[in-house]
């Protein structure tokens, strides 16, 4: 059972993130096939060969008999009861269920990928990611994730129809572990209305003029809430696998960390991630890996109440609180990092194009891309806040095809210590040579006094000057593609700016988390989750 499950897990993970249900008509159980292709071992073939064979032609396998389908449907109630007891979430209604075919699942994938509004909504964010260097300049994000995706994505719980969809080509006894995971989503939904709860974390992503005056602009919990949803489901998933041995994550301290290393190594070694930019790797694994570790820490420190109902009542506010659970547990309050309204300085030469936060997970991805990967986690943990505004040169209209040369950046980050600020400024400055075709260091005018930075670097590129300054209050200020005089005025405005006169931010969410706007990325992420969970399951055996 374990070997087959590890091979097939990738078609079962998408869960909540995949969106709406596959079609509307229920599917009758298929007639039994003439043989049981799933019972005989495939001798002489490696696991990789078996995996490729099953993924290429699962339709040739025996479909579930009507009796097996009935048994599987009945097992849903038993697994819901397990998930309810394990999570503490009461079962409030019967979970609707149905059997789906691979054809329907594949059609659902195509339907989701056809929704052009997702790509249009993401266009600004993708261009900003390229300007920052998160993505290569010529990288086609959507094309990459579409090619990386498998044809099959998931059997899943849908929070709109309140229905669990089961696969009709996988034997019933091999679906139980994933049902424990997916039915946890059903219980979350019954108790907290997942769709509304996730949207509640998107308030900071609204245009500035649309936000409530009481809104916390530094709260970017939309992405962090996803980690709660998936992390909890993984706790139940692992507890279900441990149940025959009388164990749980709660009564086996440290088990998560014993499982983490092989799981991470498996993900890093996969071809899927080998070709992906670091930002895709980090955002893809975040809900599964960091969500599990976050929930495990809450489970250890405060028991099931803190880990399950407590995380819904008080969700983490950003990726920092997920990556640093102690910050969440202690209700750490970081000072706001904002950028003032500088439009008067820019006059009519620039218009606000995009803005938001650069969170701890974004910083970690940047450090792993251009710095020492082994030291990235430690340095990123010194993050204390970050915000940016990207401006478009008005010589190009909003409808013109833009390149990174048409954008200029103003980025402010805050750090826990002068050492971490210095190290980040150094990594950012040295990365310029990798991000631009031409990068020539320039002399920086000498400066002394309280109004001068502790250190400064200026580099001339084909898209204009890049200035990186470290200040005594542990902030790092970056100006990219503004001329030197304008950059100086912008830095002065940030240093002296009125916090109430914020820039006209289009949104304030963490930049990398916007990848979740793409349905194709959700499917890409599901395959990453498969590899993480496959190793987690292997470790429990």
SS (H, E, C) 72-89: HHHHHHHHHHHHHHHHCC
Give the closest residue to 464 by CA, choosing from 398, 425, 407. Answer: 407
Whether the predicted pLDDT of 152 surpasses 70: no
Alpha carbons 299 and 305: distance in angstroms, whole number: 8
Nearest Cα residue to 432 out of 463, 407, 408: 463
Q: What is the pLDDT of residue 176?
A: 85
Which residues, other chains included, contact 334 with Cβ-Cβ below 8 Å and sequence gap of 6+?
A: 218, 320, 384, 385, 414
Q: Return the DSSP state at 250.
A: T
pLDDT band at 498; cut points 50, 70, 90 = low
* The model's pTM: 0.83
Round the average pLDDT of the chain to a whole number and report it: 80
Is the model's pLDDT at 354 over the cut of 60?
A: yes
Question: How many other β-carbons are positioned within 10 Å of the β-carbon of residue 1?
Answer: 11
Per-residue pLDDT averaged across 486-515, rounded? Answer: 77
- Pick the residue with more confidence: 27 or 316? 316
pLDDT tens-place string over residues 108-127: 666 665 655 555 567 889 99
Question: What are the strands, taking DSSP E only, across 348-436?
Answer: 350-357, 383-393, 407-415
Are the CB atoms for 294 and 227 separated by under 8 Å? yes
CA–CA dist 535, 160 (Å, integer): 31
Average pLDDT over residues 484-510: 75
Rounded Cα gap, residues 467 and 478, in angstroms: 6
pLDDT at 28: 33
- pLDDT at residue 505 in the model: 45
- The residues, ordered by sequence, that sit 6+ positions from 492 with a Cβ below 8 Å of its Cβ are none
Q: Identify the residue whose tokens are 């509304």.
A: 196
The pLDDT-based confidence of 200 (bands split at 50, 70, 90) is: confident
Asked if 459 and 429 count as a contact pair (C-beta separation under 8 A), the reply is: yes
Locate 510 and state its tokens: 């963490």
How far are the Cα atoms of 290, 331, 440, 528 from residue 325, in angstroms, in the given order?
A: 10, 10, 41, 23
Q: Which residues pair with 464 in a beta bridge?
A: 461
Q: Which residue has the tokens 């955002």?
A: 283
């Amino acid at each position: 059972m374990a070997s087959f499950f590890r091979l097939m897990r990738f078609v079962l993970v998408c869960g909540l993130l995949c969106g709406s249900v596959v079609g509307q008509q229920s599917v009758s159980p298929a007639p039994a096939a003439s043989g049981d292709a799933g019972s005989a071992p495939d001798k002489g073939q490696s696991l990789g060969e078996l995996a490729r064979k099953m993924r290429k032609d699962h339709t040739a396998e025996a479909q579930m008999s009507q009796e097996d389908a009935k048994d599987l449907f009945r097992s849903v109630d038993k697994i819901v009861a397990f998930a309810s007891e394990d999570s503490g979430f009461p079962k409030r209604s019967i979970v609707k269920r149905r059997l789906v075919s691979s054809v329907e699942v594949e059609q659902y994938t195509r339907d989701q990928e056809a929704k052009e509004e997702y790509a249009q909504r993401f266009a600004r964010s993708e261009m900003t990611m390229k300007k920052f260097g998160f993505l290569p300049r010529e990288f086609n994000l959507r094309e990459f994730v579409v090619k990386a995706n498998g044809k099959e994505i998931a059997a899943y719980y849908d929070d709109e129809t309140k229905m669990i969809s089961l696969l009709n080509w996988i034997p019933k006894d091999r679906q139980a572990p994933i049902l424990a995971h997916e039915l946890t989503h059903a219980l979350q939904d019954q108790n907290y209305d997942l769709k509304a709860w996730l949207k509640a974390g998107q308030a900071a992503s609204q245009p500035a003029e649309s936000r409530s005056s009481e809104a916390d602009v530094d709260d970017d919990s939309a992405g962090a809430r996803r980690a709660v949803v998936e992390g909890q489901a993984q706790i139940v998933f692992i507890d279900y696998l441990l149940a025959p041995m009388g164990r749980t994550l709660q009564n086996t301290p440290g088990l998560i960390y014993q499982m983490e290393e092989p799981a991470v190594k498996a993900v890093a070694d996969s071809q899927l991630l080998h070709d992906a930019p670091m930002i895709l790797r980090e955002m893809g694994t975040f809900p599964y890996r960091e969500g599990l570790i976050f929930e495990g820490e809450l489970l250890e420190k405060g028991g099931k109440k803190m880990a399950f109902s407590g995380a819904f009542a008080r969700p983490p506010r950003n990726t920092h609180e997920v990556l640093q659970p102690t910050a969440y547990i202690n209700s750490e309050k970081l000072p706001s990092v904002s950028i003032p309204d500088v439009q008067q300085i820019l006059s009519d030469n620039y218009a606000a194009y995009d803005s938001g936060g650069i969170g701890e997970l974004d910083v970690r991805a940047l450090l792993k891309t251009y710095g020492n990967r082994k030291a990235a986690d430690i340095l990123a943990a010194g993050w204390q806040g970050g915000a940016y505004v990207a401006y478009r040169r008005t010589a190009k209209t909003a409808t013109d095809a833009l390149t990174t040369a048409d954008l200029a950046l103003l980025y402010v980050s805050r750090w826990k210590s002068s050492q971490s600020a210095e190290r980040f400024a150094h990594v950012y400055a040295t990365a310029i040579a990798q991000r631009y075709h031409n990068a020539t260091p320039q002399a920086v005018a000498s400066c002394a006094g309280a109004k001068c930075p502790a250190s400064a670097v200026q580099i001339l590129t084909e898209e204009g000057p890049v200035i990186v300054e470290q200040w005594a209050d542990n902030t790092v200020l970056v100006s990219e593609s503004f001329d030197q005089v304008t950059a100086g005025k912008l830095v002065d405005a940030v240093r002296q700016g009125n916090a109430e006169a914020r820039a006209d931010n289009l949104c304030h969410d963490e930049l990398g988390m916007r990848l979740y706007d793409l349905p194709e990325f959700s499917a890409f992420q599901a395959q990453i989750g498969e590899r993480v969970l496959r190793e987690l399951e292997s470790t429990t055996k």
